[in-house]
Structure 1
Amino acid sequence: MLTIAIFPNVDKPQAPEVLSRIMDFYRDKDVKLVMPIDESRFFGFEEYGVPNIEQIDADIALSIGGDGTLLGVCRRYGARSVPVCGINIGTLGFMADIELSELETKLQKILEGDYQIEHRLLLAGFVKSSGQERFLGHAINDVVVTKGGVARMLHLGLSINESHLIDYKADGVIVSSPTGSTAYSLSAGGPIMNPNIRALLITPICAHTFNMRPLVVGEDDVVHIQIAAIHQDIIVTFDGQESFRLLPGDEVTVMKSNVQAGIVKFEDKDYYQILRTKLWKDA
């Protein structure tokens, strides 16, 4: 029996319709559907709700929403190797591979196992504060150090492995995976990278120097960001969804995680086709 975990975005008006179509399609088929218990109650599908859904041995997870929903599901599973397939009811849906017009066709492909799993690099973020280092979380797109509510530039130090590169002033810095190169990093002037490239991308946010430009480093390199001892509001965010407050003198470390995210893809779409239709459709 195929077990499918469903993660609908409660803020999307089209989510109830999509859920109903999924339930109707898989009814009377050898498929077990499960949902997080809170979402199952919200949408009136209590019979599918399970507590601690991340502990269920699902064969595949469906995210119903936009790219942000898919990112959250990938982080939610963390080290568990459950591939995630996105159903796009968001604005861009660059990573979500199923459009509403093809929903039943792709649900059938999932039933038949007619899909590929792309293994995407995950970032692991740590912070060292007062000499103690602790793990903060995973990100599939990016880890961002930026200022909070105070409109003053940050004083940052950047080191790769054991080599100190530069001290500079900026609004922040983005460390992204190739998958995340089309997210915040792109808006900050970073390059687009094919997600199969094995590398990390460091992109400054409004650096107050001409010497600091986006930098591509090896996937096994370790990025250290030092926060100068200036008293202001500083945060580190993971995929723009989870945030932690930093203190002056803290050091943020970002590296490749020892686990990967699995993204479900279908043969009728390749990366460059998606790049053209999603990012450059009006060009």
Structure 2
Amino acid sequence: MLVRVPPVKVGILANPQKPDARRVIGELREALARYGIESVLESVTAEWVGESGGVAGRDFQKEVDVAAVLGGDGTMLHAVARLGVFEKPVAGVNIGTLGFLTSCTDGELDLFASALATGEFRTSRRTLLEARVCDNGEPMDPFYALNEITLARGQTGRLVSLLATVGGEVLNHYRADGLIVATPTGSTAYSLSAGGPLIEPAANVFLITPICPHSLSQRTLVISDDVEIVLSPERKEEGAMLFTVDGRETVPISKGTRIIVRKADHGFHLLRLEGRSFYEALRQKLKWSGG
């Protein structure tokens, strides 16, 4: 979607683990100010740089018009949890090289600020996964993933047995190191490493990819994203498995517990500068060459 109305206020959220994050915060605020754009720091970011008056990430929806996430693709994944429901553009500023999820690098801050001032940018709505852990009672609060959720073996080092159902029907009884449920955005991440296909971000599908399956015939399945997927361990003696969300939260899962996965009601709106595309990122990150 092409956006023509320039934003009034930008909320900045940074990864303090990045060595140059402080410098980039300052340079971004200066660039935005040159174009008359107000900025505010997310509360944890503000505390880290020693400022008061920050805004909680969960309050960005009502306080800012664009969220700028400084770090890299990993920081963007963590921003999903820190922002909560945020149905406005999210721009990733990569401190380093351009990533799959980021809009620009830290060397392109003036270009980024200019694009915001003129409204010459696009947004790409990305599907989020909603996953709930249900342990013989009320399910836990939902987890949201931009890339994928996984249910994988714990500390045993052995293959595990798990059941996957799709739309209420048995898909398979897997013997593997685990199983990945990924969005199209996540097709370039863990699922790809496990042998899954690349999927265009706007496709209305999910991927179910086994991790190192016992049978080589067990391959990635591409399904519609309007069905519910349920994953559950099948053998108590294999010990607890580990449920993870975009590499963030980790929850031990034992036999009798189900992971219920569906398409989230809200999405994640990645900001793209004019002339930048998913295909350009593929060529760069996967080092495609030819012709």
TM-score by length of 1: 0.93
1:190 equivalent in structure 2: 196
1:202 equivalent in structure 2: 208
Contact 2:42 2:54 (C-alpha < 8 Å) held by counterparts: yes
| Superposed displacement of residue 262, structure 1 | 0.6
Identity %: 32
Structure 1 pair 86–28 and aligned structure 2 pair: CA distance change class (3 A): closer
CA-to-partner distance for each residue in 1:59-116, whole Å, 9 max, x for gaps?
0000110101112213322323132100111566221120233221111111222111
Distance 1:142 1:274 in 2: 19
1:70 equivalent in structure 2: 76
Distance 1:282 1:42 in 2: 42
Q: Does 1:5 align with 2:11?
A: yes
What stretches of structure 1 move > 6 A for 4+ residues in a row? Answer: none
1:88 equivalent in structure 2: 94
Decide which of 119, 127, 131 is 1:121's aligned counterpart: 127
1:247 equivalent in structure 2: 254
Deviates more, 1:157-166 or 1:82-91: 82-91
1:155 equivalent in structure 2: 161
- Aligned-residue Cα RMSD (Å) equals 1.9
Structure 1 pair 154–91 and aligned structure 2 pair: CA distance change class (3 A): farther
Contact 1:229 1:249 (C-alpha < 8 Å) held by counterparts: no
Contact 1:9 1:65 (C-alpha < 8 Å) held by counterparts: yes
Distance 2:244 2:149 in 1: 6
Distance 1:114 1:164 in 2: 47
2:287 equivalent in structure 1: 280
Structure 1 pair 164–262 and aligned structure 2 pair: CA distance change class (3 A): same
Structure 1 pair 90–186 and aligned structure 2 pair: CA distance change class (3 A): farther
Decide which of 274, 285, 291 is 1:267's aligned counterpart: 274
Contact 1:75 1:140 (C-alpha < 8 Å) held by counterparts: no
| Superposed displacement of residue 15, structure 1 | 1.0
1:233 equivalent in structure 2: 240
Decide which of 233, 258, 261 is 2:265's aligned counterpart: 258
1:40-51, aligned counterparts within 5 Å? 40-44=46-50, 46-47=51-52, 49-51=53-55
More strand by share: 1
Decide which of 54, 67, 81 is 2:58's aligned counterpart: 54
Which amino acid in the other structure matches residue 136 of structure 1? P
Decide which of 68, 74, 85 is 1:79's aligned counterpart: 85
Contact 2:35 2:117 (C-alpha < 8 Å) held by counterparts: no
CA-to-partner distance for each residue in 1:238-267, whole Å, 9 max, x for gaps?
111122221222111111111111100112
Structure 1 pair 87–241 and aligned structure 2 pair: CA distance change class (3 A): same
1:145 equivalent in structure 2: 151
SS of residue matched to 1:144: strand
Which amino acid in the other structure matches residue 12 of structure 2? I
Which amino acid in the other structure matches residue 246 of structure 2? D
Give the length in aligned residue pairs: 281
For structure 2, which runs of at least 5 residues remain unmatched after alignment? 1-6
TM-score by length of 2: 0.90
